[in-house]
Amino acid sequence: MKTVKEMSQLSGISVRTLHYYDEIDLLKPSQVAENGYRYYDHEAIERLQEILLFRELEFPLKTIKKIVDSPSYDRKVALTKQIALLEAKKAHLEGVLAHARRLQEGGDTMTFTAYDKSQLQALETEAKERWGDTQAYQTFEAKTDKEAFAQVTDEMLAIMAEFGRLKDLDVVDDKVQAQVKLLQDYISEHFYPCSPEILAGLGKMYATDNRFSQTIDQAGGAGTADFVSRAIERYCL
């Protein structure tokens, strides 16, 4: 068992940060003594390793928590993907470093290809979708195949009803876009991490899948499902 100070020294993470991870339930101490001292076992150390790898890949703490807490999370699979991403970042940085050295030696100052992150960003997007969104979204889809959308949550229907009250506005209106953000946050909190990609997919489904469109229109009035779909499309631009 490691004390919080020993964990800090071992990992390079400040004691204050470890306390914060405890507060947000990202990394709980394995044991808290009567005097309030925190202690961490081997499993907690492994979890911190996972957290720090995701942080190196610039994942938000909220997303990391949802990923590592997911019942479908596979540590070995995640590590393999993390290594692939880190190798891609390394290759990108090595390219930038080599370019900087060429500039130092009087190389072509009109060449900027070394800064192109498109391939790295595509890989990061794919990884984030696979870890944080896709599997959870498929789980939700499986659930809604068995249950009518109206039975999922009364609160979701209330959100749709509010869209119905707003549908005379343009989808670019701040009130409409704020309602889309409310919907996205609600899905993330209650179902699965709702990335812009997942949200865009849901928007299309709301307009084309009768299981959703009929229920949404019942909640907000005729045309609400199409309005929500268009509002989401605008939000995700």
pLDDT for 224:
94
Residue 120 has pLDDT above 80, yes or no: no
Segment among 121-130, 131-140, 200-209 with least mean pLDDT: 131-140
Token pair 């692939």 is at which residue?
84
Q: What angle do CA 123, 62, 20 make, to 5 degrees?
A: 130
Residue 81 has pLDDT above 50, yes or no: yes
Answer for the pair 217, 223: CB distance below 8 angstroms, yes or no.
Answer: yes
142 band by pLDDT with thresholds 50, 70 and 90:
very low
The bridge status of strand 38-40 relative to strand 2-3 is: antiparallel
Sheet holding 31-32, edge to edge: 2-3, 38-40, 31-32
| C-alpha to C-alpha distance for 118 and 109, rounded to whole angstroms | 21
Q: What are phi and psi of 31, to 5 degrees?
A: -155, 140
What 3-state class would DSSP assign to 31?
Answer: strand
Q: What is the DSSP letter of 114?
A: G
Segment among 9-13, 119-123, 142-146 with least mean pLDDT: 142-146
- Determine if the pTM surpasses 0.85: no
